[in-house]
A and B are shown apart, each in its own frame.
Chain A
Amino acid sequence: MIANAKKQFLHDADEHVRDTGHRAFVQRALGGYYTSRDTQKARYRDWEHARDAASLAKWSAVNRLDELLPRFVANFEANGGRVHWARDAEEARRIVLDLLRAAKARAVIKSKCMTSEEIHLNAAMEQDGYGVVESDLGEFIQQLRGEPPYHFVFPCMHVRRGEISDLFGKHLGTPPTDSPEELTMIARRHMRRLYVDADVGITGANFLVAETGQISITENEGNARLTAALPRVHIAISGIEKVVEHLDDLAVLLPMLATAGAGQPMTCYNTLYAGPRREGECDGPEEMHLVLLDNSRTAILADPEQRDSLHCIRCGACLNVCPIFKNVGGFTYGTTYQGPIGSVITPHLRGLADWNHLSGASSLCGACTDACPVRIDIHHHLLHNRRNAARTAPHWLERIGHRVFVAVASRPWLFATGGAAFRKTLWLAKKLRPPLLRDWLASRDLPAAPSRSFRDEWSRRR
């Protein structure tokens, strides 16, 4: 399947691009986001400079991970939490399953957690006989649909309300409705008992605060709060790169995450957890576990040029503004992390040879880089990946092509003759439509060749 990741991408992209109804639907869904994002950005006294500060907070943490990660772990454990290290997805799954077994879990409730998607946790849990319910509304809908998230912040943004109504009718036996409000209430009612009855709650983490040993979780619905309040055991799963040094770094990062990603002043609930229930507190889990996942993050860390892609706070802004994402849709990527940042990091996480085609899934317009609250140089990293792929395993055609070009371009007389020949024969390409150009010509007109070269024109006008 992986060997065909590129073919799959091209096939799905082609299909999606033709589905104008779907594209219009996704565009409309994002329409409100652009307005509210701009309104919220305007509340900053200087958004561009604030991005510097956000970038500084992540840069100084990621580049001192050797010092800050152990410091975080020591403080988290001092707070009564337990840390489990996972080198890869397989190890992370095993840790979680062991924890579930030890907790004698019967019912598990989960709030949105992209790292758990990354390690395919749900499938592993189901295989071991644990029922698990996704409590985030979008994730719940995707779980019922048997699909991965379409967008890592807006998981079901591609689904129409009618489809959701049918889905709930089928799985929950509720009457049809086309009101988003009523559909949300159906999920709310369905879920309430599940929080109370679950013995284990699984969440992600957005930030790990080194100086205090707290984990920070950002969400709008309140499902993560419930997941970390009611079950007896709380398991959080996080990538190792989520560390920040100071608690007050969050005073910069939390509002910017909300504004960039969803056009909000702050996400509705931003919650810091320091271990399980304390003495003197009236509720909360008896145990809190944190799974720290590497899964090739250290490979990105080892590339100083692209290390800053670990600054990503998963706000989703780069997806929302990406012309490619909007045209090919989230599923086409075939990755856990879609859009521009997904295209940058997936080749590191899953192999450049199989995933380099994502580096081409960009118009290099730079909209992603402009949108990124922590100033990751996203579109240049796509170029870096292309260069790295060309270095390691260049396509034979590119290799020959470049050699020919270098030979011609470094000899002015040859360049002039070649150019003249090219101008004279360009019409032939249109007529013959050779296989190499056919795809390109299918949706474009070939312009007529000018009669003179640029150099001729230059010397005439001087």
Chain B
Amino acid sequence: MTAQGNPAGEMSARDTILARIREALRVPAPMPHFQSQEIEKGHAAGAKSSTGLPTLAVLPLDVAKPWLPDGGETPAERLRILAENLEKLRAIVHRLPDMTAAADCLFALARERDWKVVAYHGHPLVEPLLSGVPCSTLRVDVDFDKNRLEACDAGITACESLVAQTGSILVSSGTCGGRALSILPHAHVVIATVDQVVSTLGDALHQAQARHAGRLPSMLSFITGPSRTGDIERILVLGAHGPKELILLLVG
């Protein structure tokens, strides 16, 4: 390891690269020709930084908001856009009135698909559904055997939020049963409530930052549809390495 073997060498690589960067940036690059007035104006308003470049008075996401795909203003719009996007992504969505209906739905899924073992994590939305499933279960909250998880038919998780704009589901290693549960089993079942739907990717990221206040989980992942590949003749195939099926149980 470099730290054990050659700390002096490592330091100097760092210093050399940083020196090269400082040297390279002494000549400022021309500003790109932005089409948008907002950005041009924002730049003009910004103060100059040490390198003589304007610091940003505008943030890329702030100016881009009205230009990116629509995520909906009202809860009803968001739900509609989310459902449309998930359908195009070939995710399966079940709208359910309450947790009892969700439990029944999970039961039916396990039956239909003949699941033998499903894995889950301790979470107020997930645990209550597992008591009645017609198969054995594996809980992965604490240390677990990855060989056993590999043999599971489905992983059942909560999520951080659902993004209408892109049909993405945000999961984290902190609140959704770690890193492997949502990717290793052949199917991924997500249980969420309608109030977890947010409009845009930016909203989802801001919410996660606020929720974990300065200590983000070691993994945050936007899942957008079941795993897929187009590597063979650019023909779409679902279930490349991750889950072949992505099933959302949306309660409320």
Q: How far is the CB of B223 from chain A (nearest CB, A)?
A: 6
Residues of chain A within 8 A (CB-CB) of B231 are: 136-138, 141, 154-157, 184
Stretch with Cβ within 8 A of B (4 or more), from A214-222, A428-436, A440-448: A214-222
A to B contact number (C-beta, < 8 Å): 343
CB pair A226 B183 closer than 8 Å? yes
Query: How far is it, in angstroms, between the C-alpha of A242 and the C-alpha of B180 when the chains are bound?
Result: 26
Closest-CB distance, A252 to chain B (whole angstroms):
5
**Contact flag A184-B240 (CB < 8 Å), given A69-B21, A87-B17, A262-B230:** yes
Known A52-B39, A248-B206: A102·B4 in contact at CB below 8 Å: yes
One of B2, B58, B85, B218 near A284 (C-beta < 8 A): B218
Chain B hits for A298, CB < 8 A: 17, 20-21, 23-24
A277: Cβ under 8 A from any B Cβ: yes
Write 23 A-B pairs (CB below 8 A) sorted by A numbering. Answer: A29-B234, A43-B69, A52-B39, A53-B64, A57-B60, A62-B29, A66-B22, A79-B216, A180-B233, A188-B240, A222-B241, A226-B184, A248-B202, A252-B68, A255-B69, A255-B166, A267-B224, A268-B224, A278-B217, A280-B174, A283-B146, A301-B20, A308-B29
Assess the B143–A282 pair: CB atoms within 8 A: yes
Instruction: Rank and list the top 9 A-B pairs by shortest CB-CB distance, nearest first.
Output: A222-B242, A53-B64, A221-B240, A229-B179, A302-B24, A138-B231, A251-B202, A298-B20, A301-B24
* Chain B nearest Cβ from A140, distance in angstroms: 9
Q: Could you say which of B49-57, B92-100, B109-117, B124-132 contacts chain A?
A: B49-57
Nearest A residue to B13 via CB reads A85
Chain B residues near A240: list those with CB within 8 A: 17, 21
161-216 of chain B: CB within 8 A of chain A: 165-168, 173-174, 177-180, 183-184, 200-202, 205-206, 209, 216
**B49: chain A residues within 8 A (beta carbon):** 64, 67
B52: min CB distance to chain A, Å = 10
* Contact residues on B (Cβ < 8 Å of other chain), bracket: 35 or more
Q: Which residues in A have their C-beta under 8 angstroms from that of B1? A: 98-99, 101-102
A140 closest partner in B (C-beta)? B231
The reply to whether B227 and A220 contact each other, CB–CB distance below 8 Å, is yes
A269 and B21 contacting across the interface, CB-CB below 8 Å? no
A398 contacts B by Cβ under 8 Å: no
Residues of chain A within 8 A (CB-CB) of B165 are 255
Residues of A within 8 A of B205 (CB): 247-248, 250-251
A330 to B228, CA, bound (A): 23
A114 cross-chain contacts in B, Cβ below 8 A: none
Chain A min CB distance to B195 (Å): 21
What CA separation (Å) do A349 and B207 show in the bound complex?
41
Closest Cβ of chain A: how far from B16's Cβ, in Å?
Answer: 6
Does any Cβ of B come within 8 Å of A33's Cβ? yes
Query: Please, which residues of chain A bring their CB within 8 A of the CB of B83?
Result: none
Q: B residues near A, CB below 8 A?
A: 1-5, 10, 13-14, 16-18, 20-25, 27-32, 34-36, 39, 49, 51, 53, 56, 58-61, 63-64, 66-70, 85, 88-89, 121, 140-144, 146-147, 150, 165-168, 173-174, 177-180, 183-184, 200-202, 205-206, 209, 216-235, 237, 239-243
Cβ contact within 8 Å between A273 and B233: no
- A251-B200 CB under 8 A given contacts A184-B239, A196-B150, A268-B242: yes
CB distance from A330 to the nearest CB of B (A): 14
Chain A residues whose C-beta falls within 8 Å of the C-beta of B227 in the assembled complex: 220-222, 268-269
Task: Please tell me if A65 contacts chain B, counting CB pairs below 8 Å.
Answer: yes
Q: Chain B residues with Cβ under 8 A from A193's Cβ?
A: 150
CA distance A64 to B166 in the complex (A): 30
B173 → chain A, closest Cβ, in Å? 5
Q: How far is the CA of A267 from the CA of B229 in the complex (A)?
A: 10
CA A276 – CA B178 in complex, angstroms? 12
CA–CA, A45 and B89, complex, Å: 20
Of all chain A residues, the one with the shortest Cβ separation from B202 is A251
Which A residues lie within 8 Å of B35 (CB)?
48-49, 52
Question: Bound complex: CA of A97 vs CA of B48, how far in Å?
Answer: 43
A171 and B225 alpha carbons, distance in the complex (Å)? 31
User: Is the CB–CB distance between A52 and B36 below 8 Å?
Assistant: yes
Number of interface residues of A (CB under 8 A): 119
User: Which residues of A180-207 have CB atoms within 8 Å of chain B's CB atoms?
Assistant: 180-181, 183-185, 187-188, 191-193, 195-196
Kindly list chain B residues whose C-beta atoms are within 8 Å of the C-beta of A66. 18, 21-22, 25, 51
A274 at the interface (CB under 8 A from B): yes
Q: Say whether B216 contacts A212, CB under 8 Å.
A: yes
Whole-angstrom distance between the Cβ of A82 and the nearest chain B Cβ: 7
Given the complex of chains A and B, what is the CA–CA distance between A284 and B173 in angstroms?
9
- Please, which residues of chain B bring their CB within 8 A of the CB of A70? 18
Bound-complex Cα distance A272 to B217 (A): 9
Does A119 sit within 8 A of B, measured CB to CB?
A: no
Q: Are A65 and B25 in contact (CB under 8 A)?
A: yes
- Tell me whether A252 and B218 are in contact (CB under 8 A): no
Query: In the complex, are the beta carbons of B222 and A266 less than 8 A apart?
Result: yes
| Cβ contacts under 8 Å, B223 to chain A | 268-269
Query: Could you tell me the distance between the alpha carbons of A195 and B178 in the complex, rounded to whole angstroms?
Result: 16
A102 to chain B, nearest CB (A): 4
For the complex, give the distance between the alpha carbons of A242 and B153 in Å.
Answer: 37
Cα separation A4 to B144 with both chains bound (whole Å): 55
Query: Closest CB-CB distance, B21 to chain A, in whole Å?
Result: 5
Decide yes or no whether A115 CB sits under 8 A from chain B.
Answer: no
Taking CB as reference atom, which chain A residue is nearest B246?
A: A268
Say whether A281 contacts B173, CB under 8 Å.
yes
A438–chain B nearest beta-carbon distance, Å: 39
Decide yes or no whether A89 CB sits under 8 A from chain B: no
User: Which of B24, B36, B140, B179 meets A225, CB within 8 Å?
Assistant: B179
Contact A154 B66 (CB under 8 A): no
Least CB separation from A293: chain B residue: B17
**Per-position 1/0 for A362-403, Cβ under 8 A of B:** 000000000000010000000000000000000000000000
Tell me whether A265 and B217 are in contact in the complex, defined as CB-CB below 8 angstroms, given that A137-B229, A254-B201, A270-B224 are known contacts. no
- The residues of B that contact A85 with a CB separation of less than 8 Å are 10, 13-14, 17
Give A80's nearest chain B residue, CB to CB.
B218
